[in-house]
A and B are shown apart, each in its own frame.
Chain A
Amino acid sequence: MIQHRIPRSRTGPSRRAFLATAGAGALLAGAPAIARAQAPTLKIGVLLPRSGFFAQAGQGCHRGALIAPAVLNEMGYRFELVHVDTESSVDIARTQAERLINEGANVLVGAFDSAQSIAIAQVTEQRGVPYVVNVAAAPQLTEQGYRFIFRNFPRSIDLVTNGLALIKTLLTATNASPQRAVFIHANDTFGQANRGAMDRLFPGANMPFQLVENIAYDPRAQDLNAEVARIRAARADLVLVTTRAGDAIKMIREMVRQRYEPMGIVSPGSPGMYDQEFYDSLGRFSEFCISNVPWYNPRARMAQPFERAFRAQFPNDKFEFHAFNAGFTLEAILIAADAFKRAGSAAPQAMVQALRATDMADHIMVGGPIKFDEKGQNNNIGSACVQNRNLNPTVVLPSEAATMPPVFPMPGWQQRG
């Protein structure tokens, strides 16, 4: 029986053609997996408290994230941002961190507040995803043995250490010699933490003045009449403060009303006196107050594009009032993007290795090169002496970042134009 062989070409593909097609198919099928593994773009999940208790600061941070593409793409950094509002909630920070990682985020950035940052850190640690902290000062964040966390913000103790050191520099630079100081602080989380740091650091700080009294106050008090009277009674010529804007305004008003004229009012590491509402409410009385805080370096090369992009994107916002939060957030994104650029891959281990090897001299905020120690902490972040001048927070020290010389002692309340 003769069987007619049917030519292969008429019935279907040849074995060779089949293998070629299958190979190409397998290649195509595998391509997304390979693409995912290599992740040609970096997906950064940005978790910020844009609503809720920390909304004001979170919005400032968010502005930093929004201008990041404009500033960093020009420098050759490629990344994609996914913005998430944590609503100032620890729960939402945690669940949204899980969601962002599920949706392919290669690195997370945030979250302004220590409690939310710790919640996110627990997720990133378990998922093996790098996490760059923009703003959060609790020391424990980098003391828990986390392998995937990188914090580009000083610990609370560093804030006060740097703040006190700058007071010495200020007094040397201005040849001023106050004799007696009081430390007045809000009786809230931040105020108490600063008080603890002052208690630990001041005795060994060898400051050229005596700290005669610590005064705690309720930030929700209607006025600070009694507290300012106590400062007067202590005959303090230097007032060290840890405040928020609302109570700082009440304190200054009371000082003016009681005609109390200190040589200076200096914060060794707290916000309040460089907030917009402080200037808006006090006008000329807001002038010459000093905040020794981490700040953007107006003379840094990267500060120019940062400021330009901010003013272009938010023409109705005053740059200086957002510079702190926006600057640290932009810098956190820069750190992640730079690590990705060097690593050439968004794979977690490659990113972590690159982040550990970070050595970035050219950046935005005051301080030395960005480098992380084995715990993931950048210890090179400095503080600037930011004095209110012409209704603007202005860097007056350190000299390499200053745009004006400091004025100390400050002019009397009635001697201001």
Chain B
Amino acid sequence: MIGRIFGGLPPRARLLGAALVAVLLLVPLVADRYVVSVLVLVFAAAYLGQAWNIMMGFAGQLSLGHALYVGVAAYAAAALYVHFGIGPWAGLFVGMALAAAFAAVIGFLGFRFGIEGVHFALLTIAFAEFTRIGFDHIAWTGGAGGFFIPVSQVQFDLLNLRGGPTMWYYVMLVLMLAALALCRYLTRSRVGYYWLAIREDPEAARALGIDIFRYKMIAVVLSAAMTALGGVFTAFYYNNLFPERVFSINSSIDLILAPIIGGLGTLMGPIVGAFILTPVGEALIGVLEHLGLAVPGAKQIFYGLVLLAIIWLRPDGVWPWLARRLGVADEDRR
């Protein structure tokens, strides 16, 4: 497994990767809490983007309802913790199983009945929407009034996921790096090559004997389970859940921005995208304040312009271009 993850990486890529990880490990020792908090959001966005990237980037199946998996798992783990005192590490298995079950139903409906492309995307939105409406009415999880996880003053309790930004920084960093390693492993294994074939030309893949239904299902279920894991962690980070926020289409769109900006279907794309999106947003707040332009909506306009420029200049995402510049392009393109 280790060989599959690190094999084929050019020495330059290994060096850069190791340096980046070393720097990230040291950041909380030198940076203030604001920077650490921003980086927690960056890692979370990178992780969730990586999970979505499996489905769309690798297997070519568009989902615009991934907030469903975040929400279902978040609610499941939070409810188990609040009502039964079951810790998040146990709750995340329940959350992941539930999300995987939802994904299996959506995948089965979509792939068995030939619902593809934008129609499949609509199906994913529909599931997220009716789950939102359902959670609006489930009193056990607070209904539309929201569900709250009791907050603790503890700064570092990994077992119960209660702690300050530094703990969350390392948790999210590990999560992001683990997802990167898993995706690297998958893309260099048989299933990864099958996904590639299905993404590029499903009919040709079928003609070659690939069980398209099976491998699409694997992509959907795996992507959902990974997203669910992120959902559990975000629930314990925010400590409150509202159906209107968690399951909204906006949440689903937020989740897919990082891989699109960074480079769809690339391993580093979600990470690079997340490192661009969140800090640019935060930096714009400060820049506009100093320029005296901090009127409501100004940041959104500038943010939109920045994204527009990135998409215009780098339509394949930033990572493929950056990888070429760094001299790590060929091996890591996928």
Contacts and interface: CB of A to CB of B under 8 A. Distances in A.
Interface of A: 50-51, 55, 58-59, 83-85, 87, 90-92, 94-96, 98-99, 101-102, 114-115, 118-119, 121-123, 125-127, 138, 140, 144-146, 156, 187-193, 196
Interface string B37-51: 110010000000000
Contacts of A156: 145
B35 to A, nearest CB: 9
Contacts of B137: 192
A51 B299 CA distance: 10
B281 to A, nearest CB: 8
Nearest to B153: A125
B300 A125 contact: no
B240 A51 contact: no
A248 B165 CA distance: 43
A84 B285 CA distance: 9
Contacts of B143: 192-193, 196
B144 interface: yes
B144 A189 contact: yes
A96 B284 CA distance: 12
Interface string B19-52: 0000000000000111001100100000000000
Contacts of A55: 296
A340 B299 CA distance: 33
A87 B294 CA distance: 12
B136 A193 contact: no
Contacts of B282: 95
Nearest to B303: A87
B148 interface: yes
B145 A196 contact: yes
A376 to B, nearest CB: 13
Given A122-B151, A122-B239, A192 B144 contact: yes
B297 A188 contact: no
Nearest to A192: B144
Given A94-B37, A138-B146, 18 more contacts: A55-B296, A85-B294, A85-B299, A98-B33, A101-B33, A118-B240, A123-B37, A126-B153, A138-B148, A145-B150, A145-B151, A146-B151, A189-B145, A189-B242, A192-B136, A192-B144, A193-B143, A196-B143
A85 B282 CA distance: 12
Nearest to A117: B240
Contacts of A192: 136-137, 143-145
B146 A85 contact: no
A127 B33 CA distance: 10
B299 A140 contact: no
A192 B146 CA distance: 10
A101 B153 CA distance: 18
B144 A193 contact: yes
A83 B151 CA distance: 27
B309 interface: no
A87 B151 contact: no
Given A96-B285, A98-B33, A98-B37, A51 B297 contact: yes
Given A51-B300, A125-B151, A95 B144 contact: no
B34 A196 contact: no
A99 B151 contact: no
B136 A187 contact: yes
Contacts of B286: 99
B164 interface: yes
B238 interface: yes
B93 to A, nearest CB: 26
B189 interface: no
Interface string B132-155: 000011010001111010110101
Interface in B102-155: 136-137, 139, 143-146, 148, 150-151, 153, 155
- Main secondary structure on chain B at its contact with chain A? helix
Contacts of A91: 41
Nearest to A62: B296
Contact of B239 (A118, A187, A191): A118
Q: Which of B38, B238, B296 has the most A CB atoms < 10 Å from its CB?
A: B296
Nearest to A50: B296
Contacts of A121: 151
A189 B146 contact: yes
Nearest to A95: B37
A87 B299 contact: yes
A114 B146 contact: yes
B244 interface: yes
Nearest to B285: A96
B300 A102 contact: no
A125 B282 CA distance: 22
B91 interface: no
A144 B296 contact: no
Contacts of A190: 144
B243 interface: yes
A177 B164 CA distance: 56
Contacts of B299: 51, 85, 87
Contacts of B148: 118, 138, 140, 144
Contacts of A144: 148, 150-151
A158 B38 CA distance: 36
Contacts of A115: 146, 238, 240, 242, 245
Contacts of B37: 94-95, 98, 123
B145 A193 contact: yes
A198 B87 CA distance: 34
Nearest to B286: A99
A58 B296 CA distance: 10
A146 B155 CA distance: 14
